[in-house]
Amino acid sequence: MCGIVGYVGPELCADLVVDGLRRLEYRGYDSAGLAVVDAEGQLLTRRAEGKLTNLVKRLVEAPIDGRTGMGHTRWATHGAPTEDNAHPHRSGSIAVVHNGIIENHVELKAELSALGHAFQSETDTEVIAHLIDHHRTARGLALSEAVRQAVLRLHGAYSIVVIDATTPNVIVGARVASPLVLGLGQGANYLASDVAAILAHTRDMVFIEDGWMATLTPDGVDVRVVATNESPRWEKTTVTWSPAMAEKGGYKHFMLKEIHEQPRAIADTLRGRVSLERRTVDLPEIPLTREDLEQLRHFYIVGCGTAWHAGLVGRYLFEDLAGLSPHVEVASELRYRNAPMDERTLVLAISQSGETADTLAALREGKRKGARIISICNVIGASIPRECEGTLYTHAGPEIGVASTKAFTTQLAAVHLLALKFGQLLGRLDDAAMEAELTALMHVPTVIEEELSKPADYLEIARAWHEAASMLYLGRGNLYPLALEGALKLKEISYIHAEGYPAGEMKHGPIALIDERLPTVVLNPRDAHFQKVRSNLAEVKARSGPVLVVATEGDTDAADLADFTLTLPAVPEHVLPLVAAVPMQLIAYTMADFKGTDVDQPRNLAKSVTVE
Ligand code: M6R
């Protein structure tokens, strides 16, 4: 987590760096800071506790500027979210910003303290500044070599950016297991945690690999492998996202904008991959053959949070369409289990950011044991796709709101395509079945467009239930993961406790909770489980529980049993989760907005969880 931005070039860069941080604030917002080397060659820093707006106020009161600079927005790991612990951290002429965790910081701090270095913060990061300063001053190394020597001593996950008052017009970055992208400009170069931070200035990016470092001047970049000091082969990638895609575009929140972008995002994810005429799915990016699939002994889907929920929906699709029954695992659990994996195993990682530490570790565990590894990811060039044999990119565009919305539905579309592809390869789907599936899938963007334009009672629901201490979400079959997703969305942005449950499990425990103070959301469209779930709904009502039913359009019976009703368009069962995602998102969004919480940057969370 944490966001970092660096610039070296001909412009005064304080505004540019702060603007980049604004686009990275989703990564953490416990504190923010800026460092520049000014025209007199002085290293100047400003830092502020809390959100970026506090730093902006500080900069208005006490401006600084320079042509070499860097900034940081923090998600606290080591040390409280105070100004003293805010980055940049300094030692002598050196300033450092850092995303990640330095695992051996205690030992390094002891060593540096013995050499006379005095520490000002409780962070792990500060040791990096002192270590570089030591190599620079005590050993007289040039900046890039001092950084390289320091990085060789670090254990953990990190991306860092370094500036040095005695070496103006240079910035140095390095990465291990935390994202760092280098932007190539005209007479200026950039470093950032994420392309969104620098898209306004360049679309030409170099994704820095683990174990690499880069030294940037206004006119050039020098990329090295830290361990050998050799220049690796690196490639420029031109990113197609436009800067406008990372703006709010008139919506009150990014989350709301991203909910409304779903028809476009799903259409983009399907585009070019489906031929209705030939009744085929074409995914050349997934290099698996019929023989590969036939000899599979184990199949795991891994992810965290919302991505895990997309995997859970995927299980129903792989079972129905391809006759494969994947284990769908929370990555932080799988990575430490002794799960059977070998060369006849397939691991599919699902991740919006492609940087989630637990998902990456679970994937690596599979790779270590010889498994084939593939992914579904939204961010081109992120760590997870870079480690995989093949990646099916969701074309959701940048997702800024911390609560995942369009990334989820595009993951559902992608996992559906993959299940169809596997079914096709394994000969499990005849033409009629394929045509029905593809027609349903291709129709989803239009259906969601209509769904989003319909009036619905979200505000009434929020007014009635925003003071609830807890809520229950029930769903069955492929809507059980949607109950989990609805509950997760509500928790993370409205701070109302919520639990998602398989509707049939309610009688085994949660029913004890039901009374007039516990609202229940019941996903009860006219699907295969309709009657059973309706009975569960009656059981809630019989115990005076307030109920919101998510029913199929035109289902007039639902209203008799419910305090509130939201409707879903009548669609084939395999695409129901896609249309059911919309009310799950809008219930949470409206509830949070009604309560006045920080919808896009909810407390304690970060968009991309790059620490364990
Ligand atoms: O980037 P990833 O998809 O790997 O992120 C996984 C989770 O951290 C993420 O889905 C998280 O649960 C969201 N905040 C949910 O809205």
> What are 77-87's pLDDT values in tens digits?
788 888 999 99
- Give the number of the atom of ligand 1 that is nearest the alpha carbon of residue 605: 14
**144 and 282 share one domain:** no
Q: DSSP per residue over 458-497, as a string?
A: HHHHHHHHTT-SEEEEEE-GGGHHHHHHHHHHHHHHH--E
Q: In this structure, is residue 604 part of a structural domain?
A: no
What is the overall mean pLDDT for the chain? 94
Terminal-to-terminal C-alpha distance of the chain: 10
* Shared-domain flag, residues 177 and 316: no
- Distance between CA atoms of residues 444 and 37, nearest Å: 52
pLDDT at 81: 84
What's the gap in Å between 354 CA and the centre of ligand 1?
Answer: 10
Residue 420 CA to ligand 1 center (angstroms) comes to: 25
Pocket test for ligand 1, best of 27, 329, 332, 352 (most atoms within 8 A of CB): 352
Residues 173 and 294 in one domain: no
Q: What is the CATH number of the domain that holds 49?
A: 3.60.20.10
State the residue range of the domain holding 93: 3-246
- Residue 319, pLDDT > 80, answer yes
Q: Nearest C-alpha to atom 6 of ligand 1 is from which residue?
A: 304
Structure token pair of residue 20: 């980049």
Work out the number of other CB atoms within 10 angstroms of the CB of residue 455.
Answer: 5
Pocket test for ligand 1, best of 378, 383, 404 (most atoms within 8 A of CB): 404
pLDDT of residue 382: 85
> Which residue shows structure tokens 């209509």?
450
Ligand 1 lined by 351 (C-beta under 6 Å): yes
Does residue 603 fall inside a structural domain? no
- 603 — pLDDT class (breaks 50, 70, 90): confident
Paired tokens of 326? 């994947």
Verify whether ligand 1 is closer than 6 Å to residue 356 (CB atom): yes
User: Is 129 found in the same domain as 201?
Assistant: yes
Task: Give the residue from 213, 246, 279 where a domain finishes.
Answer: 246
Nearest alpha-carbon partner for 83 in 30, 26, 162: 30
What distances in angstroms separate CA 570 from CA 336, 560, 602, one per listed residue? 42, 20, 34
In tens, the pLDDT along 127-160 reads 999 999 999 998 999 999 999 999 999 998 899 9
Band of residue 607 on the pLDDT scale cut at 50, 70, 90: confident
Distance between Cα 129 and ligand 1 center (Å): 31
Mean pLDDT of 282-303: 96
Task: Indicate if ligand 1 lies below 6 Å from the C-beta of 304.
Answer: yes
Nearest CA to ligand 1 atom 7: 305
Q: What is the mean pLDDT of residues 527-538?
A: 93
Q: Is residue 344 domain-shared with residue 266, that is, in the same domain? A: yes
Any ligand 1 atom below 6 A from CB of 332: no
Q: Which atom of ligand 1 is nearest to the CA of 489?
A: 16
Return the pLDDT at 157. 82
Residues 392 and 477 occupy one common structural domain: no
444 shares a domain with 539: no
310: CA distance to ligand 1 center in Å? 11
Please report the atom of ligand 1 found closest to the CA of residue 408. Answer: 10
Q: What percent of the chain clears pLDDT 90, i.e. is strictly above it?
A: 82
Weakest mean pLDDT among 35-39, 275-279, 307-311: 275-279
Alpha helices in 166-287 (DSSP H): 254-260, 262-270
- Examine residue 554 and state whether it is found in any structural domain, yes or no: yes
Confidence check: pLDDT of 440 > 80: yes
Mutation choice for ligand 1 from 253, 353, 611, CB with most ligand atoms inside 8 A? 353
Nearest CA to ligand 1 atom 14: 403
Q: Is the minimum distance from the CB of 588 to ligand 1 under 6 angstroms?
A: no
pLDDT tens by residue, 4-31:
999 999 999 999 999 999 988 877 788 9
pLDDT higher than threshold 80 for residue 608 = no
192-196, 525-529, 570-574, 579-583, range with the lowest pLDDT: 192-196
Pocket of ligand 1 contains residue 307 by CB under 6 Å: yes
pLDDT of residue 412: 98
Instruction: Of 195, 165, 155, 181, give the one whose Cα is nearest residue 43.
Output: 165
Q: What is the pLDDT of residue 420?
A: 98
**pTM exceeds 0.85:** no
Ligand 1: which of 306, 360, 605 to mutate, most ligand atoms within 8 Å of CB? 306
**Are 194 and 315 members of one domain?**
no
Q: Are residues 435 and 502 in the same domain?
A: no
Count CB atoms within 10 A of the CB of residue 276.
12
* 377 labelled catalytic: no
Active-site entry in 109, 421, 489, 607: 607
Q: Is residue 351 within 8 Å of 377, Cβ to Cβ?
A: yes
CA distance 480 to 13: 49
What does the chain come to in residues?
612
Span 514-535, mean pLDDT?
95
If DSSP codes are grouped into helix, strand and coil, which group holds residue 552? strand
Residue 601 located in a structural domain:
no
User: Smallest Cα–Cα separation from 349: which of 400, 387, 395?
Assistant: 387
Closest atom of ligand 1 to CA, residue 607 = 14
> Looking at the 3D structure of the chain, how many domains does it have?
3
Confidence of residue 200 (pLDDT cuts 50, 70, 90): very high
Q: Does the annotation count 607 as an active-site position?
A: yes
Using most ligand atoms within 8 A of CB, pick from 304, 489, 611 the residue to mutate for ligand 1: 304
> Does the CB atom of residue 410 touch ligand 1 within 6 A?
no
Residues 258 and 585: beta-carbon distance below 8 Å: no
Q: Which ligand 1 atom is nearest residue 303's CA?
A: 4
Cβ of 404 closer than 6 Å to ligand 1, yes or no, is yes
User: Would you say residue 65 has pLDDT above 90?
Assistant: yes
210 in any annotated domain: yes
Q: Are residues 448 and 461 in the same domain?
A: no
Q: Is residue 359 within 6 Å of ligand 1 at its C-beta?
A: yes
Half-sphere exposure of 586 (CA within 13 A, CB side): 25
To which H or E segment does residue 412 belong? Answer: helix 406-425
162 within a domain of the structure (yes/no): yes
- Residue of 2, 13, 304, 377 with catalytic role: 2
If asked whether residues 211 and 108 sit together in one domain, one would say yes
Instruction: Tell me which of 210, 226, 246 is where a domain ends.
Output: 246
Residue range 367-404, pLDDT digits in tens: 999 999 999 999 888 889 999 999 999 989 888 899 99
Of the listed ranges 157-166, 243-252, 440-449, the least confidently predicted one is 243-252
Q: Identify the residue whose tokens are 């030591």.
A: 134
Asked if residue 602 belongs to a domain, the reply is no
Q: What is the pLDDT of residues 398-436, one digit of tens each?
A: 888 999 999 999 999 999 999 999 999 999 999 999 999
3-state SS, residue 262: helix
Residue 474: what pLDDT?
Answer: 97
* CATH label of the domain that carries residue 591: 3.40.50.10490
Least confident of 241-255, 477-491, 501-515, 528-542: 241-255
Q: How far is the CA of 357 from the centre of ligand 1 (A)?
A: 11
Q: What is the reported pLDDT for 395?
A: 87
User: How much is the CA Rg of the chain, to the nearest whole Å?
Assistant: 25
In a domain, residue 15? The reply is yes
CA of 373 to the centre of ligand 1 (A): 20
Q: Alpha-carbon distance 571 to 175, whole Å?
A: 46
In degrees, rounded to 5, the angle at the alpha carbon of residue 406 between the alpha carbons of residues 404 and 407 is 65
* pLDDT value at 354 more than 90: yes
Ligand 1 centroid to residue 561 C-alpha, Å: 34
**Domain C-terminal end among 176, 211, 246:** 246
Do residues 510 and 443 share a domain? no
Please enumerate in sequence order all residues whose Cβ is within 8 A of that of 333, keeping only pairs 6 or more positions apart, or say none. Answer: none
- The percentage of residues in the chain with a pLDDT greater than 70, rounded to a whole number, is 99
Shortest-distance atom of ligand 1 to CA 407: 3
Task: Spell out a b/e string for 235-250, using b for 16 or more CB atoms within 10 Å of the CB, else e.
Answer: eeeebebeeebbeeee
- CA 404 / ligand 1 centre spacing (Å): 6
Q: What is the mean pLDDT of residues 343-372?
A: 95
Contact 492 CB / ligand 1 (< 6 Å): yes
